[in-house]
């Protein structure tokens, strides 16, 4: 191929310089970082450099936090609808706990803020409900069994959650196998399921509308949840200890 001369060679040289300048700007630009690509935006980018602070799953988690004072308000309300409203608030919060995780995975919209806020919202709702139930036992007949009936599982569950939070924070600082040792397992999921059902039953039957049977079922499940909470804590600690000993 003969060499380019004259205007043709000048145009080629000018194009080369433009491409080089464009590449130089692109390398220094945040829009071209590998973990910030725009996916499916239709403007020529493959991914997105913007990390949304308020995604739909995060909004649902924030709504769960906002539900805590709402539950507190209706719990001490003397109106007939208050019991149903309190149980409904808790059930909706429990559903959004599952829904926000599902949407985050389905939509690929998980965020560091959402991952931080989700367990905080869960613990706030559960701890608030346990404390409220301890201040006003759900069924008078069950309260006569002893003042310790609800505080014992409540202290066990809240204490376990505080301990696990501290363990996970420490394990995260260690990284590697230690961090994997405190990852959520099936035992923890069963504990959460029993806990949510128990608290729903206790909230629904706190005015005696469901009879002693409903309250007894709620208390029994709460003790099952407390037992699973302690068991799962022991499993986590043993797993972490074994990995540290390796």
pLDDT at 146 over 90: no
DSSP state of 179: H
Final residue in a domain of this structure, among 119, 136, 153: 136
Q: Poorest-confidence range of 20-24, 57-61, 158-162, 168-172?
A: 20-24
Final residue in a domain of this structure, among 118, 136, 154: 136
Domain range spanning residue 68? 52-136
The reply to whether 167 and 108 lie within a common domain is no
Q: What is the pLDDT of residues 173-214, one digit of tens each?
A: 877 777 676 777 788 889 989 999 999 999 988 776 666 788
pLDDT at 27 over 60: no
Nearest to 195 by CA among 175, 174, 225: 225
Task: Yes or no: say if 100 and 122 are a contact pair by the CB < 8 Å rule.
Answer: no
Q: What is the mean pLDDT of residues 107-116?
A: 76
Final residue in a domain of this structure, among 103, 136, 169: 136
CA max distance for the chain: 103
Query: Tokens in use for 119?
Result: 């367990």
pLDDT at 60 over 50: yes
Question: Which stretches of 136-185 are DSSP H helices?
Answer: 140-143, 151-174, 176-181
The reply to whether 198 and 171 lie within a common domain is yes
Domains identified in the chain, total number: 2
The reply to whether 131 and 142 lie within a common domain is no
The pLDDT of residue 224 is 96
Q: What Rg do the C-alpha atoms of the chain give, in angstroms?
A: 27
In the numeric block, the tokens 């036992």 are attached to: 137
pLDDT at 119 over 80: yes
Is 34 part of a structural domain of the chain? no
Sign for the CA dihedral angle at 53, 71, 133, 90 comes to negative
Average pLDDT along the chain: 77
Question: Which stretches of 108-148 are DSSP H helices?
Answer: 112-135, 140-143
């Amino acid at each position: 191929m003969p060499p380019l001369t004259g205007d043709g060679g000048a145009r080629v040289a000018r194009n080369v310089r433009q491409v080089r300048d464009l590449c130089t700007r692109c390398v220094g630009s945040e829009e071209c970082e590998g973990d910030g690509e725009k996916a499916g935006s239709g403007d020529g980018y493959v991914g997105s450099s913007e990390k949304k602070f308020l995604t739909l799953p995060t909004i649902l988690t924030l709504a769960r936090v906002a539900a805590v004072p709402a539950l507190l308000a209706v719990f001490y309300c003397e109106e007939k609808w208050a019991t149903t409203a309190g149980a409904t608030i808790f059930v909706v919060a429990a559903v959004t706990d599952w829904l926000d995780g599902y949407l985050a995975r389905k939509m690929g919209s998980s965020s560091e803020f959402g991952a931080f806020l989700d367990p905080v919202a869960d613990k706030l709702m559960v701890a608030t409900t346990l404390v409220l139930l301890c201040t006003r036992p759900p069924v008078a007949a069950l309260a006569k069994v002893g003042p310790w009936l609800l505080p014992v599982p409540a202290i066990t569950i809240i204490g376990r959650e505080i301990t696990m939070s501290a363990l996970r924070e420490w394990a995260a600082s260690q990284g590697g196998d230690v961090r994997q040792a405190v990852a959520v397992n099936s035992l923890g999921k069963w504990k959460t399921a029993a806990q949510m059902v128990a608290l729903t039953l206790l909230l629904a039957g706190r005015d005696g509308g469901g009879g002693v049977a409903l309250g007894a079922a709620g208390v029994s499940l709460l003790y099952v949840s407390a037992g699973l909470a302690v068991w799962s804590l022991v499993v986590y600690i043993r797993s972490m200890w074994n990995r540290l000993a390796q």
